[in-house]
Amino acid sequence: MAAAVTGLQLSQIEIRSNAAKLLGIDAHVAPGTVLTVMGPSGSGKSTLLGFLGGFLAQAFTASGRVRIDGEDITALAPQSRGAGLLFQDALLFPHMSVLGNLLFALPPTVKTRAAREAAAEQALTEMDLKGFGPRHPDTLSGGQRARVALARTLLSQPRFLLLDEPFSRLDAPLRAQARRLVFSEAQKRTLPVVLVTHDMADAEAADGPVIRIGTPA
């Protein structure tokens, strides 16, 4: 096998709950593409994301390997994997301003305070949120919060993205806009993406391979 398979490699992953097999996946997610995992609630979609991100709940056991750009990260702690997470809720920290949330995500390699704030401002501008830095998360609309959450995740310079039904809480018109934004940003940065959802429209917009779990084949 080639030394460096780029993208996210999911090799013979199997997740079990009390010896009962919950799901099995073997897939390769190329940089800039989206793998959509679909299934009804309770099918173990979120459990799969937990495994990839390093947060598998104690009730489950898993086998298989996860590699990113050839590096095996299966045994790494969550904070060392470089997984960027987006959830249904934006989960902005309520005790920090928008700027504080972004600075928190920016890696410490950007050193001076001025440079850090400039990078955060830049990210806000890209999300069409120029000048929102001092605002408090509570004062933002749902769509604005989702964009800050995306900016925050991207600023942390993740190696891949894990999306847990990130659009389901948004209104229909906003949802399409948000999808476009997330997928185009991922493409621009050539990040492999795993998306779990039960919304067919998400899968269509992702325009990549789709795996269905939890339903009879």
Q: Residue 164 CB, nearest distance to another protein (Å)?
A: 10
Binding site for another protein (CB under 8 A): 53-55, 77-85, 87, 89, 91, 93-96, 100, 103-108, 110, 113, 116, 152-153, 156, 158, 162
Q: Residue 120 CB, nearest distance to another protein (Å)?
A: 9
Q: Residue 117 CB, nearest distance to another protein (Å)?
A: 9
Looking at the Cβ atoms of 46 and 203, the one nearer to another protein is 46
Q: Residue 173 CB, nearest distance to another protein (Å)?
A: 27
SS3 letters across the chain: CCCCCCCEEEEEEEEEECCEEEEEEEEEECCCCEEEEECCCCCCHHHHHHHHHCCCCCCEEEEEEEEECCEECCCCCHHHCCEEEECCCCCCCCCCCHHHHHHHHCCCCCCCHHHHHHHHHHHHHHCCCCCCCCCCHHHCCHHHHHHHHHHHHHHCCCCEEEEECCCCCCCHHHHHHHHHHHHHHHHHCCCCEEEEECCHHHHHHHCCCEEECCCCC
Looking at the Cβ atoms of 157 and 177, the one nearer to another protein is 157
Looking at the Cβ atoms of 18 and 113, the one nearer to another protein is 113
